[in-house]
């Protein structure tokens, strides 16, 4: 990044000084090479950002630069390139720490993605702290990645899942949440922003309620980080997880934030190189944070790519981008309300640009295929959140999910495609 | 949109809207269920056999237009056919959708030829073949002495 705004990456991500240039979607789109391509002979309309976001040139260049000029294994190398790679890798960790306002870069564990982050918590903190008869509180609107690891742990330990229900708008029932606590509650694990409903959950309040009962909290931030600034210390949660690829970074890299006092006492996740201090056949001592949780050669390139994505977000007017996205969501809601027989799934008061819907009784796969012919990429299915489908008594839904590079023209193409769907299905 | 008309032909749309043999057979001699966990499509196949012949067939389930129409047209095609004839239909249908060198035509395929266009939509082929795999599962239970699960509830 050659931007003079790089200096911002060194400062806390509070909405203090923002970049001079206000958010301009035309300029932003030029940063994403893939958005220029044609699909089925039409300009790509990419509305599948909830599944994965596109990558800015700066991220692609960072990967290329790493493999062209810096590639070596990190840590313990005495040669020049190893030091270069180690510096770049650890710089990426510091960028993450600053980005989410962690107290220390020792609290940033690089993982494959949100899923691995949650499994790490379940397999370390969970296996040590949760036993027979204990309880874990999750919600009805979780992605399977924040259900299955806990369910597996419960099966192994004889523990129980307690589920915070939601109303039909897709908002959590916090009154019921309060009643789910018992002396056996060991963890609250809640999604920050729903990948189906777009609901922004009151994470800070949820954490505070958990703390009032003396229970630590994990927040699944996979869908939150691309849409808004996250401050883990303001949230107060013990754990926060997210994936790089949904926030414009490469796939295969993600972050587990854990507050140091917890990470320190937790056992390691995987055993192997890098995570030890001393090994002999009678005794092994583990390394310090964050190495204790990073066995084996890490995803060095991915981490550097994630660092580049953070630099990119700091170089644009990210708060302006979030405001732009909110306006675009309102535009999309209004436009979609004009499509007969379309029913929105998720109408929470606080939501981001994740728009799920059903269209008459037309199956979402048919909707998706027809939209694809118009160059419009959406997702169709249960979105790895079957309990939400069950809540609304639908087998599947179509989902259009926005990023700050989407435009009103994209929404118009979606709506026009939906009219074609209705025409074909009569 | 001409490509889409190829995929969503009138016959497919009609069978999606008014699926034939969309019912539970009770009693049924054989039952099998097809499930696509990735997209959530489900189909249940019920068979009544008379010797080597499929006397009656019914299906239930939920899925996209392609999967529902495919199940419906499948039941129309194989009702009254022998198990051997059914297997030929299965193989032809499979080849039409997945084997680029197959040149099966309308004469050989009959109404099932309406699904030829699905070949151009690789993500949708599994939708069209789901019910056929469920049918085969039901038939194979005939050959292997496994008590079929009955799920009429």
- As for the ipTM of the complex, it is 0.84
| CA distances for B58 relative to A101, B103, B145, angstroms | 60, 30, 22
Rounded to whole angstroms, the Cα distance separating A312 from A213 reads 39
Per the annotation, the verdict on A173 as an active-site residue is no
What distance lies between CA A228 and its chain's CA centroid? 11
Q: Which of residues 359-418 of A touch B (CB under 8 A)?
A: 362-366, 369-370, 373, 380-382, 386, 389, 395-396
Rounded to whole angstroms, the Cα distance separating A116 from A331 reads 36
Coil, helix or strand for A274? coil
Q: Which of B4, B42, B64 comes nearest A365 by C-beta?
A: B64
Rounded to whole angstroms, the Cα distance separating A282 from A300 reads 32
Give B76 to chain A, closest Cα distance, Å. 22
| CA distances for B101 relative to A155, B3, B95, B117, angstroms | 49, 21, 9, 15
Could you tell me the domains of chain B?
2-143 (3.90.1010.10)
Residues of B whose CB is below 8 A from A381? 38-40
Coil, helix or strand for A242? strand
Q: In what order do the strands lie in the sheet with A342-345?
A: A342-345, A354-359, A397-401, A379-381
Q: Which of B1, B42, B123 comes nearest A373 by C-beta?
A: B1
pLDDT tens-digit profile, chain B (153 residues): 446 777 899 999 999 999 999 999 999 999 999 888 777 788 999 999 999 999 999 999 989 999 999 999 999 999 999 999 999 999 999 999 999 888 888 888 999 999 999 998 888 899 999 999 999 999 987 443 222 233 222
Task: Kindly list the residues of chain B whose beta carbon comes within 8 Å of any beta carbon in chain A.
Answer: 1, 3-5, 7-8, 13, 38-42, 62-66, 68, 121, 123-124, 127
Rounded to whole angstroms, the Cα distance separating A228 from A352 reads 9
In this complex, do A425 and B62 lie within 8 Å of one another by their Cβ atoms? no
pLDDT tens-digit profile, chain A (426 residues): 344 444 434 444 444 445 658 899 999 999 999 999 999 899 999 999 999 999 999 999 999 999 999 999 998 888 999 999 999 999 999 999 999 999 999 999 999 999 999 999 999 999 999 999 999 999 999 999 999 999 999 999 999 999 999 999 999 999 999 999 999 999 999 999 999 999 999 999 999 999 999 999 999 999 999 999 999 999 999 999 999 999 999 999 999 999 999 999 999 999 999 999 999 999 999 999 999 999 999 999 999 999 999 999 999 999 999 999 999 999 999 999 999 999 999 999 999 999 999 999 999 999 999 999 999 999 999 999 999 999 999 989 999 999 999 999 999 999 999 999 999 998
Cis amide linkage into residue B3, ω under 30° from 0:
no
Q: Give me the phi and psi of A182, to 5 degrees please.
A: -140, 180
Question: Model-level pTM?
Answer: 0.91
Q: Which of A363, A389, A424 comes nearest B64 by C-beta?
A: A363
Could you tell me the domains of chain A?
45-54+318-425 (3.90.1150.10), 68-313 (3.40.640.10)
In this complex, do A365 and B121 lie within 8 Å of one another by their Cβ atoms? no
Rounded to whole angstroms, the Cα distance separating A47 from A407 reads 10
* Residue B37, number of CB atoms within 10 A of its CB: 8
Crossing angle of helices B10-17/B65-78, nearest 10°?
Answer: 90
Q: Are A115 and A140 in contact (CB under 8 A)?
A: no
Rounded to whole angstroms, the Cα distance separating A339 from A54 reads 28
């Amino acid at each position: 990044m050659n931007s003079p705004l790089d200096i911002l990456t060194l400062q806390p991500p509070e909405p203090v000084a923002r970049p001079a240039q206000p958010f301009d979607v035309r300029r932003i789109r030029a940063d994403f090479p893939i958005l220029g391509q044609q699909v089925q002979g039409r300009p790509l309309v990419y509305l599948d950002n909830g599944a994965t976001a596109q990558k800015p040139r700066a991220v692609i260049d960072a990967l290329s630069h790493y493999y062209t000029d810096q590639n070596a294994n990190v840590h313990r190398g005495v040669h020049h390139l190893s030091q270069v790679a180690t510096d770049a890798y650890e710089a990426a960790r510091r960028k993450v720490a600053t980005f989410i306002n962690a107290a220390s870069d020792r609290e940033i564990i690089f993982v494959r993605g949100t899923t691995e982050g949650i499994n790490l918590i379940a397999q370390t903190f969970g296996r040590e702290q949760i036993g027979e008869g204990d309880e874990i509180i999750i919600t009805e609107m979780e992605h399977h990645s924040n259900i299955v690891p806990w369910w597996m742990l419960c099966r192994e330990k004889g523990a129980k899942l307690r589920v915070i229900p939601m109303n039909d708008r897709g908002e959590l029932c916090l009154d019921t949440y309060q009643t789910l606590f018992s002396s056996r509650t060991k963890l609250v694990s809640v999604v920050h922003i729903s990948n189906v409903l777009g609901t922004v959950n009151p994470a800070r309040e949820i954490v505070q309620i958990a703390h009032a009962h003396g229970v630590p909290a994990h927040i699944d931030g996979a869908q939150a980080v691309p849409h808004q600034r996250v401050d883990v210390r303001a949230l107060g949660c013990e754990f926060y997880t997210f994936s790089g690829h949904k926030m414009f970074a490469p796939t295969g890299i993600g972050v587990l934030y854990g507050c140091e006092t917890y990470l320190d006492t937790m056992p390691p996740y995987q055993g192997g190189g890098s995570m030890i201090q001393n090994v002999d056949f009678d005794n092994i001592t583990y390394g310090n944070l964050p190495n204790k949780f990073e066995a084996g050669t890490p995803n060095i390139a991915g981490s550097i790519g994630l660092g580049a994505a953070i630099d990119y977000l700091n170089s644009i007017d990210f708060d302006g981008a979030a405001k732009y996205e909110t306006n675009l969501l309102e535009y999309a809601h209004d436009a979609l309300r004009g499509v007969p027989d379309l029913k929105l799934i998720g109408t929470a008061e606080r939501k981001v640009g994740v728009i799920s819907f059903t269209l008459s009784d037309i199956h979402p796969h048919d909707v998706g295929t027809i939209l694809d012919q118009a160059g419009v990429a959406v997702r169709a299915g249960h979105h790895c959140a079957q309990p939400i489908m069950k809540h609304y008594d639908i087998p599947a839904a179509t989902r259009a999910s926005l990023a700050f590079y989407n435009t009103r023209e994209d929404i118009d193409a979606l709506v026009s495609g939906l009219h074609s769907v209705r025409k074909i299905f009569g | 949109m001409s490509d889409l008309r190829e995929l969503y032909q009138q016959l497919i749309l009609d069978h999606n809207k008014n699926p034939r043999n969309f019912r539970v057979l009770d009693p049924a001699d054989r039952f099998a269920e097809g499930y696509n966990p990735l997209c959530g499509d489900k189909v249940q196949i019920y068979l009544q056999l008379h010797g080597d012949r499929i006397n009656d067939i019914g299906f239930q389930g939920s899925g996209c237009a392609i999967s529902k129409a495919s199940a419906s047209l499948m039941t129309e095609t194989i009702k009254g056919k022998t198990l051997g004839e059914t297997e030929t239909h299965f193989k032809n249908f499979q080849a039409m959708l997945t084997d680029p060198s197959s040149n099966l035509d309308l004469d050989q395929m009959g109404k099932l030829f309406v699904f030829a266009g699905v070949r151009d939509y690789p993500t949708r082929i599994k939708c069209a073949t789901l019910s056929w795999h469920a049918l085969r599962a039901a038939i194979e239970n005939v050959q292997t002495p496994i008590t079929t699960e009955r799920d009429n509830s």
